[in-house]
Amino acid sequence: MHRSITSWHSPSLNKEMPLVTYGHYGFALLLIPTAGADYLEYERFRLIDALAPSINSGKMKVFSIDSINKESWLNREMQGEHKGIRHNQYNHYVFNEVIPFIKNSTSPETPVYVSGASLGALHSMNLFLKRPDLINGTIAMSGVYNLMEYTDGFHDEQVYFNSPVHYMPNLNDPHILNQILQSGHIHILSGSGSHEAPDAAREMAAVLQQKGIPSDLSIWGGEWSHDWPTWRAMLPLWIDTRF
């Protein structure tokens, strides 16, 4: 498998941000890490190995980036409003730096899908819903889409606008809603086992449905817990059968 690592000093975040790429051709899959993890997390936990057939066949090219959750929502020493400011800088990093990098590494016409597990699922859903003009869809695994689950009860405008179950019911811009609707690739997956939150997946799907946006909701059984064996099964299966 072709593998390359690059990094640059991000103007959005004012820090060096690494990125790893797997493969040569195909649609682009952008991976957002779980919790406080880094850009090599999906490789360490063998999810990249599980995706190898689709990568090596040229079906897709995978890009994995760092998180900054320890500098935002997971930083208990930080004031709530500052967490939101830092997270918005991360959104800008993805939209203004990572997506152009992906397009330059593929083509302007290459579709970009974003995926993540756990907290990475919330970010993946949020990034797609905010900019469906840049991102073509999402595969969100084992997520909770109410950001207040991570804010210790703090709530302000920044939290609201990064919490999909809060802002989506009030999103009425027909242009953005139509772009979301046209995606055809909103995949919301969850297990029902230990530490999973299937009701959160159902809630996200219901919020979208209320706006007339269908999603591909799949709730797996109680043997599927909030852990890597679940995600190593989910993501390759969805890539094989839905793309």
Q: pTM (2 decimals)?
A: 0.97
- Mean pLDDT value of segment 9-38: 97
| pLDDT tens-digit map of 165-182 | 999 999 999 999 999 999
Joined tokens for residue 200: 């959160």
pLDDT higher than threshold 90 for residue 223: yes
Q: For residues 33 and 39, is the Cβ–Cβ distance under 8 A? A: yes
| Number of domains, the chain | 1
Percentage of the chain exceeding pLDDT 70 = 100
d(CA 39, CA 81): 26
Percentage of the chain exceeding pLDDT 90 = 96
pLDDT band for 36, please (50, 70, 90 cuts): confident
d(CA 220, CA 149): 22
| pLDDT tens-digit map of 97-139 | 999 999 999 999 999 999 999 999 999 999 999 999 999 999 9
Structure letter (DSSP) for residue 134? T
pLDDT value at residue 213:
97
| Residue 229: strand, helix, or coil | helix
- Mean pLDDT value of segment 192-200: 98
pLDDT value at residue 202:
98
| pLDDT tens-digit map of 68-81 | 999 999 998 999 89
Q: What CATH number is attached to the domain comprising 37?
A: 3.40.50.1820
Residues 6+ apart with CB under 8 A from 21: 2, 3, 4, 5, 6, 61, 62, 63, 105
d(CA 12, CA 181): 29
| Mean pLDDT of all residues belonging to the chain | 97
pLDDT value at residue 65:
98
Which residue segment(s) compose the domain that 107 sits in?
3-242
pLDDT value at residue 181:
96
CA angle, corner 134, sides to 133 and 137, nearest 5?
90
- Mean pLDDT value of segment 37-61: 97
Calculated CA dihedral for residues 38, 236, 49, 31, nearest 10 degrees:
-20
